């Protein structure tokens, strides 16, 4: 995960290309989004029916982030670039290939907000055209993953499935049918030929595929088998080898990871991939990727940067979550670094970042720890990542270590659970997963809320009348006539509150701290006029919203 390349060195031909090619990749951000062809009053013209249906379920209105980048801006920056790779509507930016002079000229344009280096060097398409319809590139040799070799295994997949209740989920008849899952990775070689994936093609379950590393390439079944391994932990269905949790889901396969190098352009690729998946109506994004250090040290993140709002990929994951997409991301394999060893976008709010446990239930040594740079608990959940059974690109059963392989198991669990409870919003799904976990009452920065379980999430915890009365999640008094309210929320000692008016403006954003998790938070509303407001609270991935009437 993360630096999937983990290479001993760069591929020789790629390094030579970077040396000979003076062109670099830049992100050009625009100040505005003037539109001539699209309007928010007609979202069906730029959003698919599935994307609109998800927004309806979540109670979300299309907004300016859904509108495309201005074509007239692109027309003016394109002559200063060698190639336009793609645009990002969420970032209001374009990814371009140009030299330093071209970047400086773009920076001077009045409608350009900023220009940032995204990656050094660029390996051009074979025929020099980005819109090439040539045959797909040939697969390159797979590098080692996380310095650990994939191994053969004599293990049974029963353990990893039963740990989170996949076996019970299947007995209840839920296999992810009707749920769309996107997998972001480095490539999916062997998926077309491995028998464990045959049903995906027989049943037309692959809804889309895109390569945002080589935008001219139209085949994702190439390159690094890490993506194949990850996909197998969601989609495999061959009892003699591996039966994973959500083999009846539909899938979108996206290459965002550039194996040969490690630059921030991969974060932009991820965001563009999320936009693409959103356009196809995706429900869940599984991302066994993460970023912290790069080939250019100037791009490296500090712990303080992992605050849920700084990294480009974290911003993208947060937007995806706000669009009602469940983002499931591996927390990282830097556990040896100790405290706050997570990677972006695992630091994002409103998503699930996933750690790894051993057969004993203890945290795996490699599994990254929290908290985030701003003190939130991470990861949220954990699953078995210490050599789970998976499928290799040659169709053979293997195993490997990493939070890359615990995350897709949680994604599969979530897909089956969402099939079972289609009325749930994304936040309700997260809440019930957290409530089902082994240490929900005492979350920590090793395993978060712990290992979830299908049956507890599906049926909910059975409470006595007295326990139900004591389980209070509320704002009081409500209506309020004073300048102070009390909030009973969550199980931790730190939360964030936002008070939002009916126009969507944030009037108050504050961090709340308490010494006893059973005591309410106290919030001052001085300066906030009478009216109806939305109160939004967040504690890690846990997000709760309610209305408040101030008289």
* CA–CA separation, 467 and 102 (whole Å): 65
Which of 222, 229, 224, 240 is CA-nearest to residue 151? 229
Q: For residue 12, is pLDDT > 50?
A: no
Catalytic: which of 88, 226, 287, 393? 226
Strands of 441-505, DSSP E: 474-476, 484-488, 494-500
Q: Report the chain's mean pLDDT, rounded to a whole number.
A: 87
pLDDT band for position 15 (50/70/90)? very low
Q: What is the pLDDT of residues 204-250, one digit of tens each?
A: 999 999 999 999 998 999 989 999 999 999 999 999 999 999 999 99
Listed range (129-138, 248-257, 314-323, 431-440) with the worst mean pLDDT = 129-138
Q: Cβ contacts of residue 256 below 8 Å, gap of 6+? A: 184, 185, 212, 213, 266, 269, 270, 272, 273, 289
Q: Is the pLDDT of residue 294 over 70?
A: yes
Instruction: Identify the residue with better confidence: 190 or 142.
Output: 190
Encode pLDDT of 357-370 as tens digits: 998 899 999 999 99
Give the per-residue pLDDT at 155.
65
For residue 280, give the 3-state DSSP assignment. coil
Banded model confidence at residue 519, pLDDT cuts 50, 70, 90: confident
Is the pLDDT at 550 greater than 70? The verdict is yes
Catalytic residue among 24, 142, 185, 456: 185
Q: List the domains of the chain with CATH numbers.
A: 12-119 (3.30.70.80), 158-459 (3.40.50.200), 470-550 (2.60.40.3080)
Calculate mean pLDDT across residues 434-450: 93
Among this protein's residues, is 367 annotated catalytic?
no
Task: Please say if 226 is a catalytic residue.
Answer: yes
Per-residue confidence (pLDDT) for residue 493, from 0 to 100: 86
pLDDT in tens, 469-486: 444 577 888 878 888 898
Q: What is the DSSP string of 158-171?
A: HHHHHHHTHHHHHH
pTM: 0.82
Between 5 and 504, the more confident residue is 504
Average pLDDT over residues 367-374: 96
pLDDT value of residue 241: 96
- Residue 150's pLDDT is what? 53
Q: 69-116 pLDDT, tens per residue?
A: 999 999 999 999 999 999 999 999 999 999 999 999 999 999 999 999
Percent of the chain at pLDDT exceeding 70: 88
Question: For the segment 532-542, what is each residue's pLDDT rounded down to a tens digit?
Answer: 787 888 887 77
* Predicted confidence band of residue 500 (pLDDT cuts 50, 70, 90): confident
Burial class (CB in 10 A: 0-12, 13-18, 19+), 1: buried
Strand, coil or helix: 23: coil
Q: Give residue for tokens 């709340």.
A: 512
pLDDT computed for residue 151 by the predictor: 52
Closest CA to 185 of 296, 328, 385, 25: 328
Catalytic residue among 196, 341, 404, 538: 404
The secondary structure of residue 290, as a DSSP letter, is -
Per the annotation, the verdict on 305 as an active-site residue is no
């Amino acid at each position: 995960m993360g630096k999937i390349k983990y290479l001993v060195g760069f591929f020789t031909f790629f390094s030579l290309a970077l040396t000979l090619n003076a062109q670099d990749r830049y992100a050009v951000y625009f100040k505005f989004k003037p539109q001539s062809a699209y309007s928010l009053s007609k979202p069906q013209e730029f959003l698919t029916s599935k994307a609109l249906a998800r927004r309806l379920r979540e109670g979300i209105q299309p907004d300016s982030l859904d509108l495309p980048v201005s074509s007239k801006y692109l027309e003016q920056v394109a002559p200063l670039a060698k190639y336009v790779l793609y645009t990002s509507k969420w970032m209001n930016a374009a990814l371009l290939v140009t030299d330093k002079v071209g970047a400086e000229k773009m920076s001077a344009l009045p409608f350009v907000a900023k220009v940032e280096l995204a990656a050094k060097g660029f390996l051009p398409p074979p025929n020099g055209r980005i819109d090439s319809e040539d045959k797909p590139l040939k697969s390159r040799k797979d590098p080692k993953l996380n310095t650990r070799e994939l191994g053969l295994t004599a293990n049974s997949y029963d353990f990893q499935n039963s740990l989170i209740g996949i076996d019970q989920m299947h007995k209840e008849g839920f296999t992810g049918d009707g749920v769309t899952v996107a997998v972001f990775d480095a490539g999916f070689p062997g998926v077309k030929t491995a028998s464990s994936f045959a049903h995906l093609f027989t049943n037309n379950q692959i809804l889309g595929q895109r390569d945002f590393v080589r935008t001219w390439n139209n085949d994702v079944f190439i390159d690094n088998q890490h993506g194949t391994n990850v996909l197998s932990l969601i989609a495999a269905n061959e009892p003699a080898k591996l039966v994973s949790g959500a083999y009846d889901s539909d899938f979108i396969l996206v290459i965002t990871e550039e194996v040969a190098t490690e630059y921030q352009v991969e974060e932009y690729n991820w965001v563009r991939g999320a936009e693409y998946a959103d356009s196809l109506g995706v429900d869940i994004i599984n991302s066994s990727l993460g970023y912290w250090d790069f080939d250019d040290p100037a791009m490296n993140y500090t712990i303080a940067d992992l605050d849920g709002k700084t990294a480009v990929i974290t911003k993208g994951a947060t937007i995806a979550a706000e669009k009602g997409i469940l983002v499931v991301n591996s927390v990282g394999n830097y556990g040896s670094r100790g405290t706050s060893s997570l990677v972006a976008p695992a630091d994002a709010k409103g998503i699930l970042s996933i750690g790894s446990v051993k057969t004993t239930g203890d945290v795996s040594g490699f599994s990254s720890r929290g908290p985030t740079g701003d003190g939130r608990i991470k990861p949220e959940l954990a699953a078995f990542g210490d050599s789970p059974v998976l499928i290799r690109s040659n169709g053979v059963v293997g195993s490997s270590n990493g939070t890359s392989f615990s995350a897709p198991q949680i994604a599969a669990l979530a897909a089956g659970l969402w099939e079972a409870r289609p009325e749930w919003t994304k936040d309700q799904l997260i809440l019930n997963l957290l409530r089902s976990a082994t240490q929900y009452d005492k979350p920590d920065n090793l395993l978060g809320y712990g290992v979830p379980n299908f049956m507890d999430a599906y049926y909910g915890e059975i409470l006595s009348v007295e326990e139900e009365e004591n389980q209070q999640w509320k704002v009081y008094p409500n209506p309020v006539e004073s300048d102070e309210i009390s909030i009973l929320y969550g199980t931790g000692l730190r939360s964030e509150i936002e008070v939002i008016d009916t126009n969507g403006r944030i009037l108050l954003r504050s961090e709340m701290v308490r010494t006893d998790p059973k005591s309410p938070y106290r919030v001052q509303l001085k300066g906030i006029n009478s009216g109806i407001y939305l109160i939004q609270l967040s504690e890690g991935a846990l997000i709760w919203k309610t209305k408040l009437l101030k008289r």
